[in-house]
Copies of this chain bind each other. A is one copy, B any other.
Amino acid sequence: MGKKKKIKKLREQVKALEAELASATTHTHDVAPLAPKGGFPDMPVIEGVRFAAVQAGVRYKGRYDVMLALCDPGTSIAGVFTRSATRSANVLDCQEKLGSDPSGGAAIIVNSGNSNAFTGRHGEGSVKAICEAVAKITGVPENRVFTSSTGVIGERLPHDRITAKLDALKDALDPGALDLAARAIMTTDTFPKGAVAEVEIGGKTVKIAGIAKGSGMIAPDMATMLVYIFTDAKIAQPDLQSMLGELTNVTFNNITVDSDTSTSDTLLLAATGASGVEVTAKTDAFRTALHDVMLNLAHQVVRDGEGATKFVEVRVTGAASDADARTHALAIANSPLIKTAVAGEDPNWGRVVMAIGKSGAAADRDLITIRFGDILVAEKGWVSPDYREEQGAAYMKNEELVISVDLGLGDGEAVVWTCDLTHGYIQINADYRS
Protein backbone atom coordinates (compact mmCIF):
# COMPACT_ATOMS: atom_id res chain seq x y z
CA MET A 1 0.00 0.00 0.00
CA GLY A 2 1.38 3.45 -0.96
CA LYS A 3 2.05 6.09 1.68
CA LYS A 4 -0.83 8.32 0.57
CA LYS A 5 -3.27 5.43 0.63
CA LYS A 6 -2.04 4.41 4.05
CA ILE A 7 -2.52 7.93 5.39
CA LYS A 8 -6.00 8.09 3.92
CA LYS A 9 -6.91 4.79 5.47
CA LEU A 10 -5.54 5.82 8.85
CA ARG A 11 -7.55 9.03 8.71
CA GLU A 12 -10.71 7.11 7.98
CA GLN A 13 -9.99 4.77 10.87
CA VAL A 14 -9.42 7.69 13.24
CA LYS A 15 -12.64 9.31 12.08
CA ALA A 16 -14.65 6.13 12.56
CA LEU A 17 -13.15 5.54 15.98
CA GLU A 18 -13.84 9.12 17.00
CA ALA A 19 -17.48 8.76 15.99
CA GLU A 20 -17.75 5.55 17.97
CA LEU A 21 -16.07 7.20 20.92
CA ALA A 22 -18.37 10.21 20.71
CA SER A 23 -21.48 8.11 20.68
CA ALA A 24 -20.19 5.95 23.53
CA THR A 25 -19.48 8.96 25.73
CA THR A 26 -22.44 11.18 24.86
CA HIS A 27 -24.53 10.54 27.92
CA THR A 28 -22.02 9.11 30.34
CA HIS A 29 -20.67 12.40 31.74
CA ASP A 30 -17.37 10.94 32.81
CA VAL A 31 -16.04 13.12 35.60
CA ALA A 32 -13.32 15.47 34.33
CA PRO A 33 -9.76 14.38 35.16
CA LEU A 34 -9.10 17.73 36.90
CA ALA A 35 -12.11 17.46 39.26
CA PRO A 36 -11.28 18.18 42.93
CA LYS A 37 -10.06 14.94 44.50
CA GLY A 38 -12.20 15.36 47.60
CA GLY A 39 -15.51 15.46 45.72
CA PHE A 40 -18.38 17.79 46.66
CA PRO A 41 -17.83 19.40 50.07
CA ASP A 42 -20.18 19.05 53.06
CA MET A 43 -22.38 22.13 52.92
CA PRO A 44 -23.11 23.88 56.24
CA VAL A 45 -26.58 25.22 56.98
CA ILE A 46 -26.76 28.95 56.27
CA GLU A 47 -29.38 30.31 58.61
CA GLY A 48 -32.00 32.40 56.86
CA VAL A 49 -32.16 30.55 53.55
CA ARG A 50 -33.79 27.27 52.48
CA PHE A 51 -33.40 25.30 49.26
CA ALA A 52 -35.34 22.86 47.11
CA ALA A 53 -34.91 21.10 43.78
CA VAL A 54 -37.40 19.23 41.60
CA GLN A 55 -37.59 17.31 38.34
CA ALA A 56 -39.69 19.55 36.11
CA GLY A 57 -38.80 18.01 32.74
CA VAL A 58 -37.88 21.39 31.20
CA ARG A 59 -35.93 19.51 28.55
CA TYR A 60 -34.86 16.14 29.86
CA LYS A 61 -36.76 13.68 32.00
CA GLY A 62 -35.45 11.99 35.10
CA ARG A 63 -33.08 14.66 36.42
CA TYR A 64 -33.30 17.57 38.79
CA ASP A 65 -33.57 20.69 36.67
CA VAL A 66 -35.16 23.46 38.77
CA MET A 67 -33.88 24.86 42.06
CA LEU A 68 -35.42 27.40 44.42
CA ALA A 69 -33.65 29.36 47.16
CA LEU A 70 -35.93 31.23 49.57
CA CYS A 71 -34.26 33.93 51.66
CA ASP A 72 -35.67 35.47 54.85
CA PRO A 73 -36.76 39.12 55.06
CA GLY A 74 -33.77 41.46 55.32
CA THR A 75 -31.50 39.45 53.02
CA SER A 76 -29.18 41.64 50.93
CA ILE A 77 -28.71 40.47 47.32
CA ALA A 78 -25.71 41.52 45.25
CA GLY A 79 -25.07 40.38 41.69
CA VAL A 80 -22.67 40.52 38.76
CA PHE A 81 -23.65 39.54 35.24
CA THR A 82 -22.36 38.93 31.73
CA ARG A 83 -21.45 42.11 29.86
CA SER A 84 -22.79 40.57 26.65
CA ALA A 85 -24.83 42.92 24.46
CA THR A 86 -27.16 40.00 23.71
CA ARG A 87 -27.76 39.01 27.32
CA SER A 88 -30.82 37.01 28.18
CA ALA A 89 -34.16 38.31 29.46
CA ASN A 90 -33.40 36.78 32.87
CA VAL A 91 -30.15 38.71 33.19
CA LEU A 92 -31.79 42.01 32.25
CA ASP A 93 -34.55 41.37 34.79
CA CYS A 94 -32.09 40.50 37.59
CA GLN A 95 -30.06 43.63 36.91
CA GLU A 96 -33.14 45.80 37.32
CA LYS A 97 -34.05 44.25 40.65
CA LEU A 98 -30.72 44.57 42.47
CA GLY A 99 -30.97 46.99 45.37
CA SER A 100 -34.74 46.73 45.77
CA ASP A 101 -36.23 46.82 49.31
CA PRO A 102 -35.14 43.62 51.17
CA SER A 103 -37.87 43.67 53.81
CA GLY A 104 -40.01 41.10 51.99
CA GLY A 105 -37.22 38.51 51.61
CA ALA A 106 -35.95 37.18 48.28
CA ALA A 107 -36.27 34.17 46.03
CA ILE A 108 -33.83 32.76 43.46
CA ILE A 109 -35.22 30.28 40.95
CA VAL A 110 -33.01 28.60 38.36
CA ASN A 111 -33.74 26.10 35.62
CA SER A 112 -31.43 24.05 33.43
CA GLY A 113 -32.31 22.58 30.03
CA ASN A 114 -33.33 25.84 28.32
CA SER A 115 -31.47 29.16 28.50
CA ASN A 116 -34.41 31.38 27.50
CA ALA A 117 -31.81 33.36 25.50
CA PHE A 118 -32.50 34.90 22.09
CA THR A 119 -36.19 34.07 22.31
CA GLY A 120 -37.38 37.61 21.52
CA ARG A 121 -40.30 39.04 23.48
CA HIS A 122 -41.34 35.54 24.51
CA GLY A 123 -38.29 35.38 26.77
CA GLU A 124 -39.41 38.41 28.73
CA GLY A 125 -42.89 36.91 29.03
CA SER A 126 -41.48 33.71 30.50
CA VAL A 127 -39.47 35.59 33.11
CA LYS A 128 -42.53 37.63 34.06
CA ALA A 129 -44.73 34.51 34.34
CA ILE A 130 -42.21 32.72 36.57
CA CYS A 131 -41.66 35.74 38.83
CA GLU A 132 -45.39 36.32 39.26
CA ALA A 133 -46.02 32.68 40.15
CA VAL A 134 -43.09 32.51 42.59
CA ALA A 135 -44.23 35.74 44.24
CA LYS A 136 -47.76 34.40 44.65
CA ILE A 137 -46.72 31.10 46.18
CA THR A 138 -43.88 32.34 48.43
CA GLY A 139 -45.18 35.76 49.42
CA VAL A 140 -41.91 37.35 48.29
CA PRO A 141 -42.55 40.58 46.32
CA GLU A 142 -42.16 40.13 42.56
CA ASN A 143 -39.29 42.63 42.46
CA ARG A 144 -37.35 40.34 44.81
CA VAL A 145 -37.63 37.22 42.64
CA PHE A 146 -34.44 36.53 40.68
CA THR A 147 -34.33 34.02 37.82
CA SER A 148 -31.66 32.27 35.76
CA SER A 149 -32.00 29.83 32.89
CA THR A 150 -29.27 27.72 31.27
CA GLY A 151 -29.36 25.22 28.45
CA VAL A 152 -30.48 25.21 24.85
CA ILE A 153 -30.84 28.67 23.31
CA GLY A 154 -33.31 30.03 20.77
CA GLU A 155 -36.13 27.76 21.92
CA ARG A 156 -39.15 29.09 23.79
CA LEU A 157 -38.92 28.28 27.50
CA PRO A 158 -41.83 26.01 28.55
CA HIS A 159 -42.22 28.04 31.74
CA ASP A 160 -45.50 26.32 32.65
CA ARG A 161 -43.49 23.18 33.41
CA ILE A 162 -41.61 25.24 36.00
CA THR A 163 -44.59 27.04 37.53
CA ALA A 164 -46.44 23.72 37.75
CA LYS A 165 -43.77 22.55 40.21
CA LEU A 166 -43.77 25.57 42.54
CA ASP A 167 -45.99 23.93 45.15
CA ALA A 168 -43.71 20.91 45.20
CA LEU A 169 -40.67 23.19 45.50
CA LYS A 170 -42.20 25.10 48.38
CA ASP A 171 -43.04 21.88 50.21
CA ALA A 172 -39.52 20.57 49.75
CA LEU A 173 -37.72 23.66 51.12
CA ASP A 174 -34.94 22.58 53.46
CA PRO A 175 -31.93 24.43 54.92
CA GLY A 176 -29.76 21.41 54.06
CA ALA A 177 -30.65 21.00 50.37
CA LEU A 178 -27.95 23.19 48.82
CA ASP A 179 -26.17 20.11 47.44
CA LEU A 180 -29.31 19.14 45.54
CA ALA A 181 -29.53 22.68 44.17
CA ALA A 182 -25.93 22.35 42.91
CA ARG A 183 -26.98 19.30 40.91
CA ALA A 184 -30.16 20.87 39.53
CA ILE A 185 -28.26 23.71 37.82
CA MET A 186 -25.79 21.42 35.98
CA THR A 187 -25.95 21.07 32.20
CA THR A 188 -22.93 19.21 30.79
CA ASP A 189 -20.89 19.83 33.90
CA THR A 190 -19.17 16.59 34.75
CA PHE A 191 -19.32 17.25 38.51
CA PRO A 192 -21.36 19.52 40.84
CA LYS A 193 -19.38 22.46 42.19
CA GLY A 194 -19.49 23.70 45.77
CA ALA A 195 -17.24 25.61 48.15
CA VAL A 196 -17.57 26.67 51.79
CA ALA A 197 -15.85 28.89 54.32
CA GLU A 198 -16.29 29.83 57.95
CA VAL A 199 -14.75 32.87 59.58
CA GLU A 200 -14.68 34.13 63.17
CA ILE A 201 -15.61 37.77 63.52
CA GLY A 202 -15.95 39.33 66.98
CA GLY A 203 -16.11 35.86 68.60
CA LYS A 204 -18.97 34.71 66.38
CA THR A 205 -18.92 32.47 63.32
CA VAL A 206 -20.00 33.65 59.88
CA LYS A 207 -20.64 30.97 57.26
CA ILE A 208 -20.40 31.17 53.46
CA ALA A 209 -21.51 28.45 51.05
CA GLY A 210 -21.57 28.67 47.26
CA ILE A 211 -22.46 26.56 44.25
CA ALA A 212 -21.61 27.01 40.57
CA LYS A 213 -22.15 25.49 37.17
CA GLY A 214 -20.02 25.75 34.03
CA SER A 215 -18.50 25.42 31.60
CA GLY A 216 -20.00 22.47 29.93
CA MET A 217 -21.55 22.70 26.53
CA ILE A 218 -24.45 20.67 25.41
CA ALA A 219 -26.30 20.41 22.15
CA PRO A 220 -27.02 23.16 21.20
CA ASP A 221 -26.09 25.86 23.61
CA MET A 222 -23.15 27.80 24.96
CA ALA A 223 -21.16 27.56 28.13
CA THR A 224 -23.08 29.49 30.74
CA MET A 225 -21.59 30.12 34.13
CA LEU A 226 -24.04 30.41 37.03
CA VAL A 227 -22.93 30.99 40.62
CA TYR A 228 -24.99 31.36 43.80
CA ILE A 229 -23.34 32.15 47.12
CA PHE A 230 -25.09 32.42 50.48
CA THR A 231 -23.87 33.77 53.80
CA ASP A 232 -25.43 34.51 57.16
CA ALA A 233 -23.38 37.71 57.54
CA LYS A 234 -25.33 40.94 58.09
CA ILE A 235 -24.23 43.44 55.48
CA ALA A 236 -25.87 46.32 53.65
CA GLN A 237 -26.52 45.77 49.94
CA PRO A 238 -24.21 48.56 48.68
CA ASP A 239 -21.31 47.14 50.72
CA LEU A 240 -22.09 43.61 49.53
CA GLN A 241 -22.28 44.78 45.93
CA SER A 242 -18.99 46.68 45.99
CA MET A 243 -17.17 43.77 47.64
CA LEU A 244 -18.63 41.34 45.11
CA GLY A 245 -17.57 43.50 42.18
CA GLU A 246 -14.01 43.83 43.42
CA LEU A 247 -13.62 40.14 44.19
CA THR A 248 -15.15 39.12 40.85
CA ASN A 249 -12.34 41.01 39.12
CA VAL A 250 -9.72 38.78 40.73
CA THR A 251 -11.66 35.50 40.54
CA PHE A 252 -14.37 34.81 37.97
CA ASN A 253 -13.24 37.56 35.62
CA ASN A 254 -9.77 36.03 35.52
CA ILE A 255 -10.69 32.57 34.35
CA THR A 256 -11.00 31.61 30.72
CA VAL A 257 -11.69 28.32 29.01
CA ASP A 258 -12.06 29.42 25.40
CA SER A 259 -12.47 33.24 25.48
CA ASP A 260 -16.16 32.95 24.58
CA THR A 261 -18.71 34.73 26.77
CA SER A 262 -22.19 33.46 27.54
CA THR A 263 -25.35 35.53 27.22
CA SER A 264 -26.50 34.31 30.62
CA ASP A 265 -23.55 34.43 33.04
CA THR A 266 -24.89 35.30 36.49
CA LEU A 267 -23.44 35.45 39.99
CA LEU A 268 -25.83 36.20 42.87
CA LEU A 269 -24.67 36.64 46.45
CA ALA A 270 -27.24 36.59 49.25
CA ALA A 271 -26.47 37.71 52.81
CA THR A 272 -29.27 36.75 55.20
CA GLY A 273 -27.93 38.47 58.29
CA ALA A 274 -29.08 35.53 60.43
CA SER A 275 -25.72 35.22 62.21
CA GLY A 276 -26.21 38.72 63.62
CA VAL A 277 -22.59 39.48 62.77
CA GLU A 278 -22.38 42.93 61.20
CA VAL A 279 -19.96 43.21 58.30
CA THR A 280 -19.01 46.08 56.00
CA ALA A 281 -17.03 46.37 52.79
CA LYS A 282 -13.99 46.95 55.02
CA THR A 283 -14.24 43.73 57.06
CA ASP A 284 -11.07 42.02 55.85
CA ALA A 285 -11.74 38.64 57.45
CA PHE A 286 -15.08 38.33 55.65
CA ARG A 287 -13.62 39.59 52.40
CA THR A 288 -10.86 36.98 52.55
CA ALA A 289 -13.32 34.16 53.25
CA LEU A 290 -15.61 35.29 50.42
CA HIS A 291 -12.62 35.58 48.10
CA ASP A 292 -11.60 32.00 48.93
CA VAL A 293 -15.06 30.64 48.15
CA MET A 294 -15.26 32.58 44.87
CA LEU A 295 -11.76 31.55 43.78
CA ASN A 296 -12.44 27.92 44.66
CA LEU A 297 -15.63 27.90 42.56
CA ALA A 298 -13.91 29.74 39.70
CA HIS A 299 -11.11 27.16 39.65
CA GLN A 300 -13.67 24.35 39.60
CA VAL A 301 -15.24 25.86 36.48
CA VAL A 302 -11.83 25.80 34.74
CA ARG A 303 -11.21 22.26 36.01
CA ASP A 304 -14.44 21.21 34.31
CA GLY A 305 -13.46 23.05 31.10
CA GLU A 306 -14.41 21.15 28.00
CA GLY A 307 -11.74 18.59 27.21
CA ALA A 308 -9.36 20.03 29.81
CA THR A 309 -6.46 17.86 30.96
CA LYS A 310 -4.20 20.58 32.43
CA PHE A 311 -4.93 23.40 34.90
CA VAL A 312 -2.77 26.42 34.11
CA GLU A 313 -2.03 29.47 36.24
CA VAL A 314 -0.62 32.43 34.30
CA ARG A 315 1.18 34.96 36.50
CA VAL A 316 2.28 38.29 35.08
CA THR A 317 4.38 40.73 37.09
CA GLY A 318 6.45 43.82 36.32
CA ALA A 319 3.90 45.21 33.85
CA ALA A 320 3.42 48.94 33.33
CA SER A 321 0.04 48.67 35.12
CA ASP A 322 -2.32 46.05 36.56
CA ALA A 323 -4.52 46.47 33.49
CA ASP A 324 -1.54 45.78 31.20
CA ALA A 325 -0.64 42.75 33.27
CA ARG A 326 -4.16 41.35 32.89
CA THR A 327 -4.10 42.02 29.13
CA HIS A 328 -0.85 40.06 28.79
CA ALA A 329 -2.09 37.26 31.06
CA LEU A 330 -5.33 36.86 29.11
CA ALA A 331 -3.46 36.95 25.77
CA ILE A 332 -1.34 34.04 27.02
CA ALA A 333 -4.29 32.17 28.55
CA ASN A 334 -6.48 32.55 25.45
CA SER A 335 -3.83 31.79 22.83
CA PRO A 336 -4.81 28.62 20.93
CA LEU A 337 -1.13 28.04 20.17
CA ILE A 338 -0.16 28.09 23.85
CA LYS A 339 -3.18 26.02 24.88
CA THR A 340 -2.38 23.34 22.31
CA ALA A 341 1.30 23.37 23.31
CA VAL A 342 0.22 22.74 26.92
CA ALA A 343 -2.01 19.89 25.73
CA GLY A 344 1.00 18.43 23.93
CA GLU A 345 3.26 18.91 26.98
CA ASP A 346 5.50 21.09 24.82
CA PRO A 347 7.54 23.73 26.73
CA ASN A 348 7.08 26.12 23.82
CA TRP A 349 8.17 29.39 25.41
CA GLY A 350 8.38 31.04 21.96
CA ARG A 351 4.58 31.07 21.86
CA VAL A 352 4.55 32.92 25.19
CA VAL A 353 6.77 35.60 23.62
CA MET A 354 4.35 35.73 20.69
CA ALA A 355 1.31 36.19 22.96
CA ILE A 356 3.00 38.98 24.91
CA GLY A 357 3.85 40.68 21.64
CA LYS A 358 0.34 40.53 20.23
CA SER A 359 -1.52 41.53 23.38
CA GLY A 360 -1.32 45.24 22.69
CA ALA A 361 -0.02 46.05 26.18
CA ALA A 362 3.46 47.47 26.76
CA ALA A 363 6.43 45.10 26.52
CA ASP A 364 10.16 45.34 25.86
CA ARG A 365 11.57 42.18 24.31
CA ASP A 366 14.90 42.48 26.08
CA LEU A 367 13.39 42.88 29.58
CA ILE A 368 11.05 39.89 29.52
CA THR A 369 11.65 36.97 31.88
CA ILE A 370 9.71 33.72 31.43
CA ARG A 371 9.49 30.85 33.91
CA PHE A 372 7.74 27.47 33.73
CA GLY A 373 7.18 26.71 37.42
CA ASP A 374 10.51 27.59 39.06
CA ILE A 375 12.50 26.96 35.89
CA LEU A 376 14.01 30.09 34.35
CA VAL A 377 13.40 29.67 30.63
CA ALA A 378 14.07 33.01 28.96
CA GLU A 379 15.52 36.35 29.98
CA LYS A 380 17.22 39.38 28.39
CA GLY A 381 15.56 38.78 25.05
CA TRP A 382 16.76 35.23 24.61
CA VAL A 383 16.59 31.73 26.04
CA SER A 384 18.38 31.48 29.38
CA PRO A 385 21.92 30.06 29.00
CA ASP A 386 21.22 27.61 31.85
CA TYR A 387 17.91 26.36 30.47
CA ARG A 388 17.79 22.82 29.14
CA GLU A 389 14.86 21.70 27.01
CA GLU A 390 14.62 18.46 29.06
CA GLN A 391 13.81 20.51 32.18
CA GLY A 392 10.90 22.23 30.47
CA ALA A 393 9.65 19.01 28.91
CA ALA A 394 9.68 17.24 32.29
CA TYR A 395 7.84 20.13 33.95
CA MET A 396 5.09 20.18 31.31
CA LYS A 397 4.10 16.64 32.27
CA ASN A 398 2.53 18.00 35.48
CA GLU A 399 -1.27 18.25 35.65
CA GLU A 400 -1.05 21.72 37.21
CA LEU A 401 1.24 24.27 35.62
CA VAL A 402 2.38 27.79 36.40
CA ILE A 403 3.59 30.03 33.57
CA SER A 404 5.19 33.21 34.95
CA VAL A 405 6.17 36.28 32.99
CA ASP A 406 7.94 39.34 34.33
CA LEU A 407 7.89 42.35 32.00
CA GLY A 408 10.55 44.31 33.88
CA LEU A 409 8.67 47.56 33.33
CA GLY A 410 6.76 48.43 36.52
CA ASP A 411 4.64 47.10 39.37
CA GLY A 412 1.57 45.89 37.48
CA GLU A 413 0.53 42.30 38.16
CA ALA A 414 -2.27 39.86 37.43
CA VAL A 415 -3.07 36.15 37.75
CA VAL A 416 -5.33 34.30 35.33
CA TRP A 417 -6.37 30.65 35.23
CA THR A 418 -7.09 28.52 32.21
CA CYS A 419 -6.91 24.99 30.83
CA ASP A 420 -5.42 23.37 27.75
CA LEU A 421 -7.05 23.02 24.30
CA THR A 422 -7.43 19.36 23.37
CA HIS A 423 -9.07 17.00 20.93
CA GLY A 424 -11.75 16.66 23.61
CA TYR A 425 -12.76 20.33 23.15
CA ILE A 426 -13.11 19.87 19.40
CA GLN A 427 -15.04 16.66 19.87
CA ILE A 428 -17.49 18.17 22.34
CA ASN A 429 -18.11 21.31 20.29
CA ALA A 430 -17.98 20.00 16.74
CA ASP A 431 -20.51 17.26 17.42
CA TYR A 432 -23.72 17.92 15.60
CA ARG A 433 -26.40 19.37 17.84
CA SER A 434 -29.42 17.19 17.24
A residues adjacent to B (C-beta < 8 A): 3-4, 6-7, 10-11, 13-14, 17-18, 20-21, 24-25, 28, 30, 82-87, 117-122, 153-154, 217, 220-223, 258-263, 334-337, 340-341, 343-346, 348-351, 353-366, 368, 378, 380-383, 389, 393, 421-423, 425-427, 429-434
Residues B382 and A120 in contact, CB atoms below 8 Å apart:
yes
Starting from the known contacts A3-B28, A86-B354, 7 additional A-B residue pairs (CB-CB under 8 Å) come to A85-B356, A86-B363, A154-B353, A220-B348, A222-B351, A260-B351, A344-B432
Residues B350 and A118 in contact, CB atoms below 8 Å apart:
yes
Q: Which 5 A-B pairs give the minimum distances between C-beta atoms?
A: A344-B430, A86-B357, A84-B357, A261-B358, A120-B382
Residues A433 and B348 in contact, CB atoms below 8 Å apart:
yes
Which residues of B lie under 8 Å from residue A6 when comparing CB positions? 24
Residues A118 and B343 in contact, CB atoms below 8 Å apart:
no
How distant is A323 from chain B, measured CB to nearest CB, in Å?
15
Which residues of B lie under 8 Å from residue A120 when comparing CB positions? 366, 380-382
Residues B3 and A349 in contact, CB atoms below 8 Å apart:
no
Which residues of B lie under 8 Å from residue A362 when comparing CB positions? 85
Given contacts A154-B383, A336-B429, A432-B344, contact A350 B220 (CB under 8 A): yes
CB nearest neighbor in B for A25: B7
How distant is A6 from chain B, measured CB to nearest CB, in Å?
6
Residues B118 and A262 in contact, CB atoms below 8 Å apart:
no
A82 to B360, CA, bound (A): 11
Between A and B, 17 residue pairs with Cβ closer than 8 Å are: A3-B28, A7-B25, A85-B363, A85-B364, A86-B357, A118-B378, A119-B381, A119-B382, A122-B382, A154-B378, A221-B350, A259-B334, A259-B336, A336-B336, A341-B429, A422-B430, A423-B423
Given contacts A18-B14, A432-B345, contact A426 B354 (CB under 8 A): no
Query: Which residue of B3, B389, B426 contacts A421 across the interface (Cβ within 8 Å)?
Result: B426
Residues B24 and A13 in contact, CB atoms below 8 Å apart:
no
A4 to B24, CA, bound (A): 9
A350 to B18, CA, bound (A): 25
Residues B24 and A258 in contact, CB atoms below 8 Å apart:
no
Which residues of B lie under 8 Å from residue A425 when comparing CB positions? 336, 340, 426
CB nearest neighbor in B for A119: B382
Which residues of B lie under 8 Å from residue A260 when comparing CB positions? 335-337, 351, 354-355, 358
